[in-house]
């Protein structure tokens, strides 16, 4: 086996057709990352759920900066409890064959680049399972600029980490002990975080409610659908305050009349200005095929 193997990463992510890092990890554009920072958890969740990606969210974390949004490209790792023969074999292989230095967690953090997020399955180990402390969190800050870490396990040096304000860290618990009795069996491989799964190159969106992992080939679609949801909500709030529509009408599939009202507002109201790169042809075509009697019962995700 090899750590961070380009052939494996490309094989795992065949639906991504865009740019890749030298190790094969999908490289979603900076523009998509920038736009992703403006969307909510639910706005990202809806498109993924509708496309069958129902195990992408995990919310059972403690958060170093609970009010901050974290967005970045996933660098994944899988740790298991220490078994001496496996541990010695893999540690020696990394040092001797791949030229790596230090312990397994340092290998991962040494590979980070700007806008990366470390995503680590520490099998919920907190005591002797502290993946990062003050030093490694500082290294994450320096390398990623505005990324962070998602750790299904522990951290230490909380008082130091909380002072690092350009990254965020999601973790299960804290403990003063250092990392010990664990072995890394995969780097940039599929990684389970609670009830969610993350692949290398996924876009990690960390919010006050938890973390969602967005497959790279769905990142642009997710952002566009989220932006559409945002501007539709802005319009909906206006019309609800004005008493033009009921909540049932706003939350159900819109009629052709409502869509005509929306597009007129969208093209002229200053509140919609930043969204005018969006196109509504598909929505308008779908609305033209349904009755204009408001009989829709589905709730918009």
* CA distance linking residue 187 with residue 1, whole number of Å: 11
pLDDT at position 301 over 80: no
Question: What's the pLDDT tens digit per position in 197-220?
Answer: 999 999 999 999 999 999 999 999
Question: What's the pLDDT tens digit per position in 26-57?
Answer: 999 999 999 999 999 999 999 999 999 999 99
DSSP-derived letter for residue 234 is: H
| pLDDT band at residue 163 under the 50/70/90 scheme | very high
pLDDT at position 294 over 60: no
Positions of E strands within 93-217: 116-132, 148-155, 168-171, 173-174, 182-187, 191-193, 196-198, 203-207, 210-214
- Please tell me the least confidently modeled range out of 126-140, 219-233, 276-290: 276-290
| pLDDT band at residue 300 under the 50/70/90 scheme | low
**pTM score of the predicted model:** 0.91
* CA distance linking residue 173 with residue 153, whole number of Å: 7
Task: Give the CA angle between residues 50, 51, 54 to the nearest 5°.
Answer: 75
Could you tell me if residue 124 is left (phi over 0), alpha (psi between -120 and 50 degrees) or otherwise beta?
left
| pLDDT band at residue 19 under the 50/70/90 scheme | very high
The pLDDT, as a whole number, for residue 206 is 98
DSSP-derived letter for residue 272 is: G
| Of 295 and 123, more confident | 123
The pLDDT, as a whole number, for residue 297 is 45
* CA distance linking residue 36 with residue 207, whole number of Å: 11
The pLDDT, as a whole number, for residue 290 is 72
pLDDT at position 266 over 80: yes
Report whether 75 contacts 116 (CB < 8 A): yes
Q: Is the dihedral of CA 253, 258, 264, 269 positive or negative?
A: negative
Question: What's the pLDDT tens digit per position in 100-123?
Answer: 999 999 999 999 999 999 999 999
pLDDT at position 172 over 70: yes
Give me the mean pLDDT over the 89-100 stretch. Answer: 97
The pLDDT, as a whole number, for residue 90 is 98
The pLDDT, as a whole number, for residue 291 is 58
Q: What are phi and psi of 16, to 5 degrees?
A: -80, 120
| pLDDT band at residue 258 under the 50/70/90 scheme | very high
Give me the mean pLDDT over the 178-202 stretch. Answer: 98
How many CA atoms lie within 13 Å of 77's alpha carbon, on the beta-carbon side? 27
The pLDDT, as a whole number, for residue 225 is 94
């Amino acid at each position: 086996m090899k750590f961070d193997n380009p052939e494996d990463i490309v094989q795992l992510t065949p639906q991504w057709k865009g740019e890749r890092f030298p190790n094969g990890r999908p490289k979603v554009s900076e523009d998509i990352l920038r736009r992703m920072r403006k969307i909510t958890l639910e706005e990202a969740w809806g498109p993924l759920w509708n496309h069958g990606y129902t195990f992408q969210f995990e919310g059972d974390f403690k958060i170093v900066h609970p009010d901050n949004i974290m967005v970045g490209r996933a660098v994944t790792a899988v740790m298991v409890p220490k078994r001496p023969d496996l541990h010695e074999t893999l540690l020696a292989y990394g040092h001797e064959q791949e030229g790596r230095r230090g312990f397994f967690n340092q290998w991962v953090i040494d590979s980070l680049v700007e806008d990366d997020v470390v995503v680590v399955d520490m099998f919920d180990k907190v005591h002797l399972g502290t993946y990062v402390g003050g030093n490694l969190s500082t290294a994450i800050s320096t390398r990623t600029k505005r990324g962070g870490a998602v750790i299904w396990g522990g951290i230490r040096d909380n008082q130091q980490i909380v002072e690092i304000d350009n990254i965020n860290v999601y973790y299960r618990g804290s403990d003063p002990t250092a990392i010990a009795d664990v072995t890394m069996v995969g780097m940039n491989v599929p990684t389970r975080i609670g009830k969610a799964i993350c692949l290398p190159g996924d876009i990690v969106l960390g919010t006050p409610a938890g973390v969602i992992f967005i497959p790279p080939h769905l990142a642009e679609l997710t952002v566009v659908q989220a932006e559409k949801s945002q501007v539709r909500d802005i319009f909906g709030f206006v019309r609800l305050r004005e008493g033009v529509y009921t909540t049932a009408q706003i939350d159900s599939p819109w009629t052709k009349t409502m869509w005509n009202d929306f597009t007129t507002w969208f093209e002229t109201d200053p509140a919609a200005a930043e969204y005018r790169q969006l196109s509504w042809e598909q929505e308008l075509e779908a609305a033209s095929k349904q009755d204009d009697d408001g009989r829709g019962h589905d709730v918009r995700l």
